[in-house]
Amino acid sequence: MSQSSFSRPARLRRSVLSVPAINRRALEKLDSLDCDAVIFDLEDSVSPEKKAEARDNLRRFFAASPLSGKERVIRINALSSNFGADDLDLVQALEPDAVLLPKVDEPQDVIDVSDRLAEADASESLRIWAMIETPRGILNAASIAEAGRTSGSRLDCFVVGLNDLRKETGVLPQPGRAYLVPWLMQVVLAVSAYGLEALDSVFNDFKDMEAFDAECGQGAAMGFFGKMLIHPSQIEAANRHFGPDATAIAEAEAIIGAFAAPNAADLNVVNLGGRMVERLHLVQAERLVHKARLIAARHHPSTRSG
């Protein structure tokens, strides 16, 4: 089963900023930031005694600001915790674009939330994102992705959480993430097989922009669609690395043009400047050009994505 088996509108997820829902000042700044999506965190960044206050903050924020042009995601606490049920009630009331589930270990974690949302008649536009941040989550990535494509499931995206994964495995944080690369690629392979998307993990030292820039380049080369961020200063590099550059766009447009030629209508392979290009590259080119148009439309609202 290939990714092309699942058609879903492309969304920009180059830069996905995580903001503690308890931090009102950070919430107030979101409209001015150039990130593609925002994760409103009710989990790790909010202490137990502040959970209710954080939910109240989100109620006020969603009532006052639509965050136009940005995907809105609420990360809840596990349903097995004392806070998960209240968090999920809040999600249903606020109707963000997605709910992010922490520490997804197995397919049932996603299925249970899908079922609860269906029972509550939640809007079909409310999607599910899954944090893959435990050894079991990595081992079960493919089965979680497969279950996410069953009838009624809302699963759209995996987010890798390396801080928890390092803690549970003892792998040290090192430049280049050499000992983590096999696990990261396992996640990319799983989402590719079932038409989902995956976001690379946070980079903790937001002052080390050189190392962050290198890690963004690595994540993009691996096949991640974007990166989860912890600070606004990281947005520009993420947008640059996970967005198509001018050379890639020009090549994609040339591929589209070559297959649009009248004599190429029945061809699966065309000659493009001495290079043989297959029709499968046309699908990739169309996705890339569509992504470029989405980016252009973000900055120039009059631009049509076509």
Residues at the binding site are 75, 133, 164
- The DSSP string of 48-82 is GGGHHHHHHHHHHHHHH---TTSEEEEEPPPTTSS
Residues at the binding site for Mg(2+) are 133, 164
Helix ranges (H only) for 151-261 are 162-169, 181-193, 209-222, 235-242, 246-260
CB proximity list for 196: less than 8 A, separation 6 or greater: 145, 148, 149, 155, 156, 157, 158, 190
CA distance 242 to 228: 12
Name the one residue in this structure whose structure tokens are 């503690």. 20
Residue 272's φ and ψ, nearest 5 degrees, are -120, 95
Q: Which two tokens stand for residue 42?
A: 């009710």
Residues at the binding site for substrate are 75, 133
Q: Which two tokens stand for residue 10?
A: 């492309």
